Amino acid sequence: MSFFQFPRQTAFYKGKVRDVYTIDDLLLVMIASNRISAFDVILPSPIPFKGQVLNQIAAYMLTATRDICPNWLLEVPAPTVSIGKKCVPFKIEMVVRGNLTGHAWRTYAAGKRILCGVAMPDGMKENDYFPSPIITPSTKAAEGHDEDISADEIIAGGLATKNEWDILRQYALQLFERGKQIAAKQGLILVDTKYEFGKIGDTIYLMDEIHTPDSSRYFYADGFEERQATGERQKQLSKEFVREWLIANNFMGKEGQTVPAMSDEWVNTISNRYIELYEKVIGTAFIPEALTEEETKKRIIASLQKLS
């Protein structure tokens, strides 16, 4: 995809999976691409309709959580496009975990019982529920890997004040609870997720996408307890299956490792998994909509004219 130039554009940023345009230093135009990343590396093949899936799930979830906290989103003029308020971001990700899975499980299995300053109980199995959800923040790295950090380190390092941290923590737990409720209605368990926040003046806003397969992990609720009891792998909807495929092909983003080739069949499998998650989470059929770049640009400009 080529890059746009918009009236009153003041900055442009090409992220791993999204292109972000700043307008008048007040608004952001965020375009979700079909690029896919894992282990902080962009994989070689784009995934059809991934951008639309992520953008539309995020818009649905941001709308469904507006009563909990303010968020950045103003309009969704095209399937892959969101326009919203530009915030000054906190340089941390609020990772909320309801189950012992992924990075938390790998830490636990290595014998550690403290993650980001949070104690994890002894005697847990992979994918077990924590007694209550935990927050394991990470630093938001401009380049390279995000790193685990504790609440005390966040406050001591000036990444957030004590008061700001208390608000971020409260918002993150309330958002996670709402996400779990939405998922439960669709027969899913929201296992873990991450939230990003920023400020405009003294007001804290929820930013970015939420409860999407790129930022979250879902298990199917049906059969969850039985699978836990018998030690079976949980049936999940998330990007973790992409990470597992990479690990099986000897790639974890480390120096000297080569990204494995992606067959057309594997690319289509990933696309179908994203669409499956959209339909499961939202509860309606996914309607693919492929706009031309020209039509996308026209819709964005019309929206910006309305918002300015």
Domain ranges of the chain: 9-87+261-307, 89-238
Q: How far apart are CA 218 and CA 231, in angstroms?
A: 18
Tally the C-alpha atoms within 13 A of residue 244's C-alpha that lie toward its C-beta. Answer: 11
CA 161, chain centre distance (Å) = 24
Tell me the C-alpha distance between 291 and 294, whole Å.
8
Superfamily of domain 9-87+261-307: Phosphorylase Kinase; domain 1 (3.30.200.20)
pLDDT recorded at residue 150: 97
pTM across the whole model? 0.91
Q: Are 190 and 211 in contact (CB under 8 A)?
A: yes
Q: Which helix (H) or strand (E) holds 155?
A: helix 151-156
Q: Is the dihedral of CA 263, 267, 273, 275 positive or negative?
A: negative
* Mean pLDDT split into 10-residue runs, the chain, 308 residues: 86 93 97 92 94 96 98 97 97 98 96 98 98 95 77 97 98 98 96 97 96 90 97 87 92 92 95 91 93 94 93
Q: What whole-number distance in Å separates Cα of residue 76 and Cα of residue 80?
A: 8
pLDDT computed for residue 224 by the predictor: 98
CA–CA distance, 154 with 145 (Å, rounded to integer): 17
CA distance 39 to 267: 18
CATH 3.40.50.2000 fits 89-238, yes or no: no
Rg of the chain (C-alpha set): 19
CA 268 from centroid of its chain's CA atoms = 21
Q: What are phi and psi of 3, to 5 degrees?
A: -100, 150
- Our CA angle for 168, 174, 180, nearest 5°, is 135
What length does the chain have?
308
Tokens found for residue 249: 């092909």
The pLDDT of residue 1 is 55
- State how far the Cα of 61 lies from the Cα of 71, in Å rounded to an integer: 11
Q: Are 221 and 180 in contact (CB under 8 A)?
A: no
Contact 54, 67 (CB under 8 A): no
* pLDDT at site 240: 79
Contact between 99 and 191 (Cβ < 8 Å) = yes
Which tokens in the block code for residue 55? Answer: 């953008």
- In this predicted structure, what is the pLDDT of residue 2? 64
Q: Which residue has the tokens 């019982």?
A: 113
Residue 111, CA distances (Å) to 120, 171, 229, 233, 252 in order: 11, 31, 22, 21, 21
